[in-house]
Amino acid sequence: MAQSFAFGDFSHTQKKTAQKKGGGRTPRDRARRELSQNFLVDRHAVGQMVKAAEPAGLILEPGSGEGVLTTALAATGAHVIGYELDPLLAAKVRARTRDNAGIEIVKGDFTAARPPEEPFAVVGNIPYSITSKIVDWCLTAEHLTSATLLTQLEYARKRSGDYGRWSLVTVLSWPWFTWELLGHVDRTSFRPVPSVDSAILRIDRRPDPLVADEQAYRELVELGFTGVGGSLHASLEPHYRHLPQAFRAAGIAPDTVVAFVHPDQWITLFRELHR
């Protein structure tokens, strides 16, 4: 992003001096780094995101950036509310889209926003540094229907089970949400170019939860992920009766390490242990 010369007497000599004092970076460069700004510039990747999101109705976009994805989402007929923490970017996109009734730009922190009291989806090329914070916000928003997020490739693979292993976050949320890796986006699709590739991760709310007792399910999963004894069976054995029968019903070998237990097997295990 180029330094703005719109205000004040900012000569090329001054610019060079500022860069030298800042280790070769301008204040805008440092701000962009702090905000984890890597803008999506590849139109094909934008199209991938729009296709994966299937936008309709109300869309919230964390980090609207330069508005490339914002305008593409609005072009489908969705109403997009873009949140942008960078005041210069927010003003820039707001000015560019002020005649578009389908776009609203909010200068502020998406994760501090109150979720809408109506069905909505989240779609965004999100800052890597606060991925977990944004995902947590989505998972706790009562009326969220889906979240289509451009994240680091490794994060998307871990959460979707693409490595053949399953994370605590995914297993805990599985009765209410599905996680799916929908496409790879090369690092060259961004400016500045980040050090890692990205992927499209989609989280969908299930129409009906797979378990009724959220607290009991959470207790089971968190206990299982303690790692006591080196296997899931060893972690759970002191706390649950009829564990061998439940493991057989779920198709889990007694020596299975917790990360390799599929979320669907957790659901069966829970049901068997809470009859």
Nearest to 187 by CA among 53, 41, 47, 28: 41
Q: How many other C-beta atoms are found inside a 10 Å radius of the C-beta of residue 54?
A: 13
Whether residue 40 is annotated as binding a ligand: the answer is yes
Residues in the chain: 275
Backbone φ and ψ for 42, nearest 5 degrees, come out as: -85, 120
Whether residue 229 is annotated as binding a ligand: the answer is no
Whether residue 237 is annotated as binding a ligand: the answer is no
3-state secondary structure of 161: coil
In SS3 terms, 8-64 reads as CCCCHHHHHHHHHHCCCCCHHHHHHHHCCCCEECCHHHHHHHHHHHCCCCEEEEECC
Which positions ≥6 away from 15 have C-beta within 8 Å? 3, 26
Whether residue 63 is annotated as binding a ligand: the answer is yes
Assigned token pair, 95: 């000015």
Whether residue 109 is annotated as binding a ligand: the answer is yes
Whether residue 84 is annotated as binding a ligand: the answer is yes
Rounded distance, CA 198 to CA 149, Å? Answer: 10
Residue list, annotated binding site = 38, 40, 63, 84, 109, 125
Annotated binding site for S-adenosyl-L-methionine: 38, 40, 63, 84, 109, 125
